[in-house]
Chain A
Amino acid sequence: MPSVAISASRLTKRFGDRVAVDGVDFDVEVGECFGLLGPNGAGKTTTVRMIHAFTPITAGDLVVLGLRVDDEPVAVKRRLGVVPQEENLDPDLTPWENLMVFARYFDIPRAEARRRAADLLEFVGLTSRAASPLDELSGGMKRRLLIARALLNQPELLILDEPTTGLDPQARHLVWQRLRALKAQGVTQVLTTHYMDEAAQLCDRVALMDAGRILRQGRPADLIRAEVGEEVIEIRGDEALHRAAVAALDGKSLRWERAGDTLYCYCADGRELLPALSTLKPAHLLHRPASLEDLFLKVAGRSLQE
């Protein structure tokens, strides 16, 4: 069995003059959860749409499950599942009927489809809603039903485009639990998200995208440690306070940065800096581990790009 589920090299997508994906390279290993991170418009969705043979490739190579997507889109689609960003369930059908109708597209025999639909509704916790009208389902339930639908063909690779956008915290955590359970079963996952905490919760490796390019990729912890450091101290206040804080740090911080009313000090161990900073009595002083969000803001910048 090959160890690489997806191999993209110089993968490019242009829409007219606009370059949506600009020659990206990445591999996804079998069994891992790979995250494409970045702001809206970074090219994440276009990238996954090329993977599931929705969007034709402009240039470069894309091999999914050992098959060139360009040459064998049907064979690729047979072996993967897609959870779309925008809900596209059949609103006239119940959850059960949605699954049974979708199973036909994969030529799954009826008896087998019934068995899988029952198992999957159980898996996503919708058994009691199997016969409910679709408009009685919450956003979180619909998202879980989309996940169940994407699993009908027992895919080797599951693609999730912003799987929890718009969900409340309970619904998000429920989706995360199901995705981790799938990973434990060996299903390779590629997900896009602009929530860095989601990537930290789910992804073995991430690629940070911005403006069609991959800026960094690797294990979240490695990337954070290499680029941001171990810990961050946030100090909120006016410019005078920030200046006093920088003076107090006296070069002991690895790096510091001002953004609006907040001073961010990146360091290996914040505890040795805290005494000096607390004497300034800032209104808000937070000492926390460095996160993917710090990394992203460092490599992509803080300014809003429209």
Chain B
Amino acid sequence: MPHRWPTRRAVRVWERNLTVFRKYSLPSLIGPSIGEPLLYLLGLGFGLGTLVGTVGGLRYVEFVAPGMVMSSTMFAAAYECTYGAYVRMIHQRTYEAIITTPLSLEDVVAGDILWGASKGAFNGTVMLAVVGLFGLAPSPWTLAVPVIIALLAVLFACLSQVVAALAKSFEFFNYYLTLVITPMFLFCGVFFPLESLPRWAQGLARFLPLTYAVEATRALMRGRPSAQALLPILWLVPPTIVAFLLAARLVRRRLIH
């Protein structure tokens, strides 16, 4: 079967989700996706930081801040495109309702991914603003961080949509969050430099997209935007495309019969 590409009509799905979100916005804003990284930043950065001292010449809270921005992006996109997408796709049959209109299933999947990515990007940007207010991102290069936020948000929205398309129930998402998202949160250079890991574990971390996003963000926020730190960001793009195509195909296989 030839692949069908989404059209501009995908934006209609994004608008639909915004309409629903605006009715219930507050709980999801102060929910886990911003609240949790903020607590980590305060607890680990300022609390644990007094024990750790400096990492690579940075105060610990300065070291942790870029990872908090990236992980809040990752978590928000992941939650929205697992739990949120699953509810719309399976429980509420929203996808089936929408594809009786001129929108195709690929439009719906793309629109839902765009929405999850937007939530991720929004949360990441709010975290970035918080980090900036704490004076933890002194460089003007920090203004370029939203580009990385956007790339990471789209990637995790696509990956999570794949998981939602495969999930048999909500319990399935525990595996994903515990075995995929949490290890990235812990081992991608958010809390400690990759060099602290054994060599084989460093090699593994080099396969994980969050690693590059965190390193590039740290370089920008500290005002050291080298090609070596920034270019690896492009490695986020191929898995994004693969995950999107896979998500669209899996959703089609699941819903269309």
Contacts and interface: CB of A to CB of B under 8 A. Distances in A.
Interface in B97-111: 97-104
A86 B102 contact: no
Contacts of B102: 74, 77-78, 105-107
B168 interface: no
Give the interface centre of B9, B20, B101, B104 by most chain A CB atoms within 10 Å: B101
Given A55-B256, A73-B104, A86 B93 contact: yes
B23 A84 contact: no
Contacts of A90: 16, 20, 92, 94, 97
A30 interface: no
A88 B256 contact: no
Contacts, number: 62
Given A55-B256, A56-B256, A77 B101 contact: yes
Interface string A2-45: 00000000000001000000000000000000000000000000
Contacts of A227: none
A73 B257 CA distance: 16
Given A52-B100, A77-B102, A90-B20, A15 B93 contact: no
A87 B100 CA distance: 13
Interface size classification for chain A: 20 to 34
Nearest to B24: A92
Contact of A74 (B92, B94, B104): B104
Interface string A148-160: 0010010000000
B19 interface: yes
B257 A97 contact: no
B59 interface: no
Contacts of A150: 100
A104 B100 contact: no
A107 B11 CA distance: 11
A146 B139 CA distance: 55
A contacts with B: majority SS: loop
Interface in A70-121: 73-74, 77-78, 81-82, 84, 86-93, 97, 101-102, 104-107
B24 A54 contact: no
Contact of B100 (A15, A56, A77, A101): A77
A93 B19 contact: yes
A298 B256 CA distance: 34
A234 to B, nearest CB: 41
B23 A88 contact: no
B248 to A, nearest CB: 15
B249 interface: no
B12 A105 contact: yes
Interface in B1-38: 9, 12, 15-16, 19-20, 23-24
Nearest to A101: B16
Contact of B101 (A15, A56, A102): A102
A77 B9 CA distance: 14
Nearest to A103: B101
Give the 3 A-B CB pairs with smallest separation, nearest first: A88-B93, A105-B101, A82-B100
Given A88-B97, A93-B20, 13 more contacts: A52-B100, A54-B96, A56-B256, A73-B104, A88-B93, A88-B96, A90-B97, A93-B23, A104-B12, A104-B16, A105-B12, A105-B98, A106-B102
Interface of A: 15, 52, 54-56, 73-74, 77-78, 81-82, 84, 86-93, 97, 101-102, 104-107, 150, 153
